[in-house]
Chain A
Amino acid sequence: MLKLAFYGKGGIGKSTTVSNLASAFAANGLKVMQIGCDPKADSTASLHGGARMRSILDLVRERNNDFTLGEMVREGDGGVICVEAGGPTPGLGCAGRGIITALEKLQEKGAYDVYKPDVVLYDVLGDVVCGGFSMPMRKGYADRVFILTSGETMSVYAAANIAMAVKNFRGRGYASLGGFVLNRRNAPDEDAKAAKLAADFGSAVVGALDWSETVQRAEQLGKTVVHAFPESPMAAQYRALADAVLAAARKGDAPC
């Protein structure tokens, strides 16, 4: 079982990218579980027609611990097992603590043992703002962290912060850095900036995605590009990225 966590600045395209990776992995015959770690609970929407699904914390809120594993998941396109951690009432509670509770519930109910996914993808909100959002990279959860970035300054800044967090946690047996993914926004010198960022952390840009209207069209259909437009150039880019991510994840510990 390969467990991969994806981090990056809010709005950089993590959920879209992770969902397309999930579709690409599933199309290759892998059993995939995608876990959205964002209070908005919309990570997996494009894997099940754009509809919202009930999150783990919704279940906790309604029924404390009186629910089954089956109620925590929803099977999406291509058989991807979709999970949304969810969050507290907006403006109240503690979202980070919520992520911890949700992931602990998933483990307690035996999600990894029952579904036995080949690949688990954690799609994590924005930045590692507190202990809760480092949960997916803790021991027993993700093996590798991939960081999405564009060439825009704020995105690079956020990516560097996340990479620094991964580096700081190295002594704790947390996930190691698998690499960076460049999601192009057509910023000046974008590829060079991403490459320099990766080099600064002794890592590499494992793949790049172009900006494409196809992504928006698929989103309007409530589907991933890989599923809605499998013959498109963009779908080919996602499939190539999926191969690159798998290859990077299966390598030994990346230097960090």
Chain B
Amino acid sequence: MKQTATIISIHAADTSGVCSMLYELGGMVVVHDASGCNSTYSTHDEPRWYRQDSMIYISALTETDAILGNDEKLIGDVVSAAKDLSPHFIALCGAPVPLLAGTDFPAIAAEIESRTGIPTFGLHTSGMRSYLAGASEALEAVVSRFCTDALPRTDAPSANIIGATPLDFSVNGTVESMIDWLNRKAGFELVSCMAMGSTLDDIRRASAAHVNLVVSSCGIATAELLRERFGTPWVAGVPVGEKFSAVLASALKTSAETGECALPCADRDASASGKKLAIPGEMVFSGSLARAVELDLGTPCRVLCPLEAEDRLLAPGDIRIFDEVAAAEAFAASSGVIADPMYAPVCPPDVPFFRLPHEAFSGRCYRKESLNLIDRPLPWRF
């Protein structure tokens, strides 16, 4: 059956992406959906839920409110809560019911902003796209609104990390390792990490950076915005493994000097033939891992892309997979698979399977097994 997931999981939806991206920025996120759905968007997909405060709320949309178009209840509740909480901003997200009812979130946001004076965004989430779309739109909205001043570049080389969320990197030290690598190995001071471990004030200073490191495809739109607004170049890749980390550090330096953008995550061994190792997942991370495996372990790889991604993120040989049938066929034609454990049931028994949990795919199920692969030897031998 095409375009179905009867055996494996599906990726977190756009609303989860918004909640994850905005979690630490001091804004109020309101999902216009039925009461109880917050656990779907935040608890299951959000390792910070029980240890770090946030302002993520559900509007408790009722059938009657939806049928009668009772937007005033949403507006009134948000305005009232905002007066108590004084958030830095308010983000409104849709869900499937508002999608069908045609709720105009940008217009409602304008109304709330006019009543509260608090910057308010209406985001186009619907539950029909992946977390990448929501995280991308949310971050772009925040940066577009708050990162407006062209600050002087810092004296020392500096960079922003763009696109970090627990959905792609969990909370296992990976992001801290990336920042450490950026400082010590790549030679760049961190201006802001969007959006883990940094504040909204850090993000306001993003224009002071010499270059941006995009670590997930959900960061590309924001990186492009910063390039258009301030001329800051960007490089897409995650410093996994040993040799690829060095490649990425070099690409960052070159980019900062030349102003040219680069996608080292989309480089592959073009001379390789025969079966390759398959890595399904988000393209910037999976592409970086594929290249790291090729460079460190000498095993040719291809990435299977199950999510929204621009063509430029796919290397020759990479393929898009739209359902579990395509995933199973691709696995069967591979020398091995590195993937979230929830892909294992569609991997043939004679194809070696290496577990690498991806929170956006399996939520908290395998969180304890999550790996930090930043700037260190890879744990597999093929």
Q: Which A residues are closer than 8 A to B by beta carbons?
A: 94, 96-97, 100, 130-132, 134-135, 138-139, 169, 171-174
Contact = CB atoms under 8 A, between A and B. Distances in A.
B107 interface: yes
A173 B105 CA distance: 12
B104 interface: yes
Nearest to B72: A168
Q: How large is the interface on B (under 10, 10 to 19, 20 to 34, 35 or more residues)?
A: 10 to 19
A135 B102 CA distance: 8
B348 interface: no
A138 B105 CA distance: 11
Contacts of B114: 171
B106 interface: yes
Contacts of B108: 172
A198 B114 CA distance: 28
Contact of B102 (A96, A169, A172, A174): A96
A130 B69 contact: yes
Nearest to B108: A172
Given A96-B102, A130-B102, A138-B104, A172 B69 contact: no
Contacts of B107: 138-139, 169, 172-174
Interface string B93-131: 000000011111011101100100000000000000000
Nearest to A133: B102
Contacts of B103: 131
B100 A94 contact: yes
Nearest to B99: A97
Nearest to B114: A171
B69 A131 contact: yes
B101 A131 contact: yes
B101 A171 contact: no
Interface of B: 69, 100-104, 106-108, 110-111, 114
Given A131-B69, A139-B106, A172 B111 contact: yes
Contacts of A135: 102
A102 to B, nearest CB: 12
B111 A131 contact: no
B102 A131 contact: yes
19 contacts: A94-B100, A97-B101, A130-B101, A130-B102, A131-B101, A131-B102, A131-B103, A131-B104, A134-B102, A138-B107, A139-B110, A169-B107, A171-B110, A171-B111, A172-B107, A172-B108, A172-B110, A173-B110, A174-B107
A256 to B, nearest CB: 16
A97 B104 CA distance: 12
A172 B112 CA distance: 9
Contacts, number: 35
Nearest to B115: A171
Contacts of A174: 107
Contact of B104 (A94, A96, A172): A172
B210 to A, nearest CB: 34
A135 B107 CA distance: 11
A138 B110 CA distance: 12
Nearest to A138: B104
B226 to A, nearest CB: 25
B157 to A, nearest CB: 40
Contacts of B106: 139
Contact of A132 (B102, B110, B111): B102
A97 B111 contact: no
A146 B371 CA distance: 61
A94 B102 CA distance: 11
A109 B107 CA distance: 23
A130 B100 CA distance: 11
Contacts of A100: 102
Nearest to B106: A139
A97 B110 contact: no
A26 B104 CA distance: 33
B221 to A, nearest CB: 16
Given A130-B102, A139-B106, A169-B107, 7 more contacts: A131-B101, A131-B102, A135-B102, A138-B104, A138-B107, A171-B110, A172-B111
A91 B106 CA distance: 31
A173 B106 CA distance: 10
Contacts of A171: 110-111, 114
A87 to B, nearest CB: 14
A60 to B, nearest CB: 15
A162 to B, nearest CB: 15
A101 to B, nearest CB: 9
Nearest first, the 4 closest Cβ-Cβ pairs linking A and B are A131-B102, A172-B107, A171-B111, A100-B102
A131 B108 CA distance: 13
A96 B101 CA distance: 8
Contacts of A132: 102
A88 to B, nearest CB: 12
B71 to A, nearest CB: 9
A173 B114 CA distance: 11
A97 B100 contact: yes
Contacts of A130: 69, 101-102
A134 B103 CA distance: 10
Nearest to B100: A97
Contacts of A131: 69, 101-104
Contacts of A173: 107, 110
A130 B110 CA distance: 20
Contacts of B69: 130-131
Contacts of A138: 104, 107
A173 B112 CA distance: 12
A127 B220 CA distance: 42
